[in-house]
Amino acid sequence: MTNNLPDPAPVGRLIEAFRWSKTMFTTASLGLYDLLPATAGSLARTLGLNPDALERLLDGNVGLQLLEKRGEAYYNQPVADTYLRKDSPHSLIGYILYSDRALYPMWGHLEDAVREGTNRWRQTFGTPGPIFDQFFSTEENMRTFIMGMHGFGVLSSPAVVRAFDLSRFHRLVDLGGATGHLATAACEAYPGLQGVVLDLERVIPVAREMVAQSSAKDRITCVAGDFFHGDLPEGDLYALGRILHDWDEAGIELLLRRICAALPKGGALLIAERLLNEDKSGPLNSLMQSLGMLICTEGKERTLEEYRTLLLNAGFSQVEGKRTGRAVDAILCDKL
């Protein structure tokens, strides 16, 4: 009788999935990946943790293939050394901590978000107001969020700037550029390109710190500003990396029209966003990210055609999109 039943494994994996995430989140929050190799006993004494409970947490990481155990000592697997240590140049720890402290509790209210169609900041944390006021509520929260975006940007921006031939451009202005990972990748890929990173004044010290590590640092300037207000820095190529998905159509239209007006003829806009399939059947990470935007912003993920409509309405033309195989895809559109 049961031989005709479908395999329950997909459901079983989803039942377990939040436990896997929280195991990694907790280990990262405790800073354990930065303290290995060590034994559970020595870590428990150092951090004031329950030895038995800590051993279970570390063993869980072994099961998740993030750690390995040799004798009594625990060691990071290469994937943990690369992405889960704070001192790694490819660290994703910022986004992991942000996921643990902000996204994880907000996702607990997904049902209410679906009922009401609005984000869950007030319900979760009791704080109203603009979304980015929450991200930047303290210097620690701001840096955690910015460095979380940096980790993903370092992995995806090189593919974004090579998705199209950008060699005809002279000056790229990365709007809301955070740590400058996209401008840095572009200037490293195109020796004739100058770069400008525009972001809020509080972000600029972090941007300068990250840009200073690039071989193209002498061609990149970091400027404080708000892309919704005031004049935009001059450039023939503007970039928006993971910006448009934060906003509703009215906010996007306002921003795109400002950019189009600032561009010279022959200039262009480079956009880095996750693209949904035209029938919205996938990719899975984009679908999940779109739910995430419901939880914490006014925006959502979109198809290339949806972006094309917004861009053409704002005055752009020749909209082309490409999949990068990375966390974000690339769109390039011209101003004729």
Question: What per-residue confidence (pLDDT) applies to 147?
Answer: 85
Kindly report the pTM of this predicted structure.
Answer: 0.92
Q: What is the mean pLDDT of residues 121-144?
A: 76
- Condensed to tens digits (0 to 9), the pLDDT of residues 290-327 reads 999 999 999 999 999 999 999 999 999 999 999 999 99
In the chain, the domains with their CATH numbers are 2-83 (1.10.10.10), 132-334 (3.40.50.150)
Checking if the pLDDT of 132 tops 70, the result is no
What percent of the chain stands above pLDDT 70? 97
Residue 276 near residue 290 (C-beta atoms within 8 A): yes
In the predicted model, is pLDDT for residue 186 greater than 70? yes
Q: Is the pLDDT of residue 216 over 90?
A: yes
229 tagged catalytic: no
Q: Which amino acid is at 159?
A: A
d(CA 156, CA 243): 15
pLDDT bucket at 84, cuts 50 / 70 / 90: very high
Furthest-apart CA atoms within the chain: distance in Å: 70
Cα–Cα dist 298/138, whole Å: 22
Write the CB contacts of 256 (distance below 8 Å, at least 6 apart in sequence). Answer: 269, 310, 311, 313, 314, 315, 316
Dihedral pair phi/psi, residue 165, rounded to 5°: -80, 110
Residue type, 134: Q
Secondary structure, 3-state, 33-88: HHCCCEEHHHHHHHHCCCHHHHHHHHHHHHHCCCEEEECCEEEECHHHHHHCCCCC
Among residues 90, 109, 170, 245, the one annotated as catalytic is 245
Mean pLDDT, the chain, integer: 95
**DSSP output for 212-249:** TTSTTGGGEEEEE-BTTBSPPPP-SEEEEES-GGGS-H
Peptide bond into 264 cis (omega under 30): no
* C-alpha torsion angle, residues 243, 226, 223, 307 (rounded to 10): 30
Nearest to 294 by CA among 107, 137, 126: 107
* C-alpha torsion 194→326→28→300, nearest 10: 90
